[in-house]
Amino acid sequence: MTRKERAREIHQILEKEFKEVPIPLDHKDPFTLLIAVLLSAQCTDERVNKITPLLFEQADNPFDMVKMSVEEIKSIIRPCGLSPMKSKGIYGLSKILIEKYDGQVPQSFEALEELPAVGHKTASVVMSQAFGVPAFPVDTHIHRLAYRWKLSTGKNVQQTEKDLKSCFPKENWNKIHLQIIFFGRKYCTARGHNPTLCPICKDFGRAILFK
């Protein structure tokens, strides 16, 4: 079975299991999504969704965010981890959005990746979920599943992203990215994974392939 054939079958299973997929991070516009994605680094979406209402109650736009100090931001987002770096990033990018973009989140990968604390994965999520631009954000979880499902042999997320983009039709990237996240959480976990109980690993009938 070729990689694209495997991807086609996996896509069918993902569609069956998760026909509709919500955006995991609560937000109301591109700015609040950007902040939520930034906070999600090495933190669960569930925890981020508990913290962002506290932060956005104080500042849900860059103009109000820069009225806060880095220390004030840090005290609110501390439960999300990496608060010193994230608080500086949130303050810094808010300042840049005001100075360069009239307070609006730019709609390009290049501009987003120039913002403090915003990497390619964060930019890809924002482009995909805020602006509907085809992207395939790859975090450590998607990287792990792509390797387990033999869709990529990439040693890093950059190669895995390239491989996944070549496996699936561009118009489906945004949805499949979310489907893989939800599928992985429910069936294909990093620890305690039983291939015989996973719809994808089981349906291929070669559990050893997915060890």
Selection from 129, 144, 155 nearest residue 183 by Cα: 144
Write the DSSP symbol of residue 107: S
60, 74, 86, 121: which one is catalytic? 121
What's the gap between Cα 95 and its chain centre? 24
Q: Does residue 193 come out as left (phi exceeding 0), alpha (psi in the -120 to 50 range) or beta?
A: beta
Write the DSSP symbol of residue 25: S
139, 162, 186, 203: which one is catalytic? 139
Cβ-contact 55, 27 below 8 angstroms: no
Cα–Cα–Cα angle for 71, 73, 74, rounded to 5 degrees: 60
- Judge whether 139 counts as a catalytic residue: yes
Length of the chain: 211
- Judge whether 163 counts as a catalytic residue: no
Cα–Cα–Cα angle for 169, 150, 153, rounded to 5 degrees: 95
> Which positions are catalytic?
121, 139
